[in-house]
Every structure is written in structure tokens, then in C-alpha cells.
Amino acid sequence: MWSLWLCLVLWGLSLVSPSVGLTEQHIRNSLLQQLHLSEVPVLDKATMEGLLIPAHVRAQYVTLLQRSHRVPSRGKRFSQKFREMAGRLLASETSKHLLVFSMEQRLPPDSELVQAVLRLFQEPVPKAALHRQERLFPHSARARVSVEWLRVRDDGTNRTSLIDSRLVYLHESGWKAFDVTEAVSLWQQLSRPRQPLLLQVSVQKEHLGPLASDAHKLVRFTSQALEGSGQREPQLELHTLDLKAYGAQGDCDPDVPVTEGTRCCRQEMYVDLQGMKWAENWVLEPPGFLAYECVGSCRQPQESLTFQWPFLGPRQCIASETASLPMIVSIKEEGRVRPQVVSLPNMRVQKCSCASDGAPVPRELGP
């Protein structure tokens, strides 16, 4: 998990900072990186005046330009309020449970998912069974509980994705919480959003091998409400954020100056490439571009989340969706100069959102 979090942090660092607009140095460094150069090439102005851009190069540039407007990058998510629902136990085995949650109308249209928490009630182990387990395996009184998202494809085949996993102790009972935010995020990407959410809960041995303890067979979770004992069936809490109150407002009003109290919005920012000395004779197209930047502030929630990420910071106004910037540049090879198309990632802000700095990015739904 730590490797995943590290990748997400590095991905976030590649985007423009939420508080600092796109800089000349950022554009130059990105261009050098894409072309695998260590320094800006020195090109003769007289040579560049006679350089023509071939039709196939210009056609490639136009294609990338059109594509960049249709495929924005994904951003980060954050939210606060929660709803709770009961799950229906569809099937059960000794060490495996399949939970079915009806999701219809559970996620309001003007809200954004922050976190989903699965709560399972672990039943007490009978004292006689617990004493026998401790006598046979005095140093092994734990079992591993894993939660997977189960996806049923159109062709009827199944696919599971590991969502969360943790160790539980035999001598403990009560509610156990699992973070299943990624499962709900994956479910939202389906083309059939009205189908239920399927979560597979597996209770496994802590260690593998023929001499490993069978403690996992003693771990049981309540599958229904017990009379006189309160609600103990599996629960799914959905934490969401009301975007009308906590989200960004879209594009800034050009007639209203931005202040500290301005609600998060996208502001126009034009980058003049022709006015940059280092870009002369190197960048042929475009002469400039509308980059936009995210400005303003975000409302902070009062309540804390059930699970706190190790590096979760305050909510900020950030670029949640960005687009690449195609360019035509001059390349000097063996004394000759030719035009080449290159695409710089995360150069133009498509959408601004309020997000918690360090919040994880849900993975893309695969085939």
C-alpha cells in the first residue's frame, strides 16, 4: 500500500501546484524532458526563416490538439457526509461471504464520494473453542480478513479486485471497519450503475503451510439483525460531499476580482510563448495558449473522516482535470533542422475542484 501511496504523491507533484500558476521554467523543463535534452538548443534565426512545416507534421499537431480537448486527466477526490445502508447476505461459506448492497439512489447526483466504510460485526468465539485454539496454537490467535470487489462482466465471467485487508484477533469481538472507497469508485465507473455493489469477504489463515493454525475457522461475522441485540448486519457507510456547499464554482467571474474569500474557480491565464526568449526559433506552434489556473479557497469540513490517510492535508483549490499541450518544435540533427510534434502533459487546466492534499486517486476500471 505504501508503494501505491508513493506513486500517487509523485503523480500529484507532476501537476501544477494549486497555489502557483504555470511558470516559464515549468514549460521549459517539461519540453526538455519530453525531447530528452539537457539544455535549450541554439538555433540560427536565418536558418529558421526558410523552414517549412510539412503537411503531415501539421496534421499530426492538429490531431493531438483535438484529442487533448477530449481526454482530460483524472483528479483527486474528497468528501465528508455519510449515509449508512444494510447489506444483504447472498451466500455464505465457512471462510467466505458475499455481500450485496443496493446502491440505487444512495449517491446524490450533486455529491462526490469521499470515503466508503464497510462495517462487519465479529461474533464472540465460544470460550471452549478459544481455549482449545490457545492450547494447540499458543502463539497464533489471529486471522486475516480480506475484502474484494466482485465485478460480473457482460459475458457472465467474474473478476475480483483486492480492496482492503487486515488481521483480526480471536479474543476480540465487535465492529470491524474496512475502507472500501475504491470498490465504490470502481462500481461508479460501470456502464450499468443500477446493478448492486458486490463485496466478497474472505477469512484466511494468518500464515500458510501445513502446520499453520486454523484460527480463521473460528472468525464469524453476523449476517443479520439479532433480536434484542440491535442492528448487527453488515453496514456500508458512504461519506459524500455536497458540491453545492463544498465544491468549486466552475469558471471565475471575469468582472469580479479574486480575493481570499473567493470560492474556488478556474481563472483565465494566457501564456505568451513568443515573449519567452528561450522559445525563439525553437517553438514553432503555438505562439501562445490559454492555460487557466485554479484560484480561491475551499470550505473545510468540521467532522473528521473515519479513516485518516497518513498525509491527508486541508482541502485546497486544485486542478482536478488537466489536458496536454501539443507543440511543433525545431529539432537539429546532424547539422539539419526539421520540425517535430511533441505533447507536454498537464499544461492546461480543464477543471478546478476542492480536494484534500494527498488524497488517493482511484484506479481506472480495467476491461
Please give the chain's pLDDT, 367 residues, in tens: 333 333 433 333 334 444 456 788 999 999 999 989 888 887 777 767 667 888 888 898 898 888 876 655 544 333 333 344 455 544 444 478 889 998 877 888 888 888 899 999 988 888 877 777 666 666 667 888 999 999 888 787 888 889 999 888 888 889 999 999 889 988 988 867 678 999 999 888 777 666 566 777 788 888 754 444 556 888 999 888 888 888 888 899 989 998 888 999 999 999 999 889 888 888 889 999 999 999 999 988 776 655 655 556 788 898 888 999 999 988 887 778 888 899 999 899 999 988 876 666 667 776 6
Residue type, 335: G
Query: How many CA atoms are closer than 13 Å to the CA of 317, on its beta-carbon side?
Result: 25
Same domain, 273 and 296: yes
The span from the CA of 318 to the CA of 266, in Å, is 9
In a domain, residue 225? The reply is: yes
Query: Does a structural domain hold residue 82?
Result: no
Residues 219, 103 within the same domain: yes
* Same domain assignment for residues 291 and 345: yes
Name the domain boundary from 180, 203, 233: 233
- Of the three residues 193, 212, 233, the one that is the final residue of a domain is 233
Q: Is there a domain that residue 104 lies in?
A: yes
Amino acid at 355: A
Q: What is the rounded CA–CA span in Å between residue 239 and residue 81? A: 5
Q: Does any domain span residue 293? A: yes
What's the domain count of the chain?
2
Bridge partners, 260 (sequence order):
none
Asked if residue 331 is part of any domain, the answer here is: yes
Are residues 134 and 29 part of one domain?
A: no
Residue at 367 is within a domain: no
Q: Which residue segment(s) compose the domain that 153 sits in?
A: 88-233
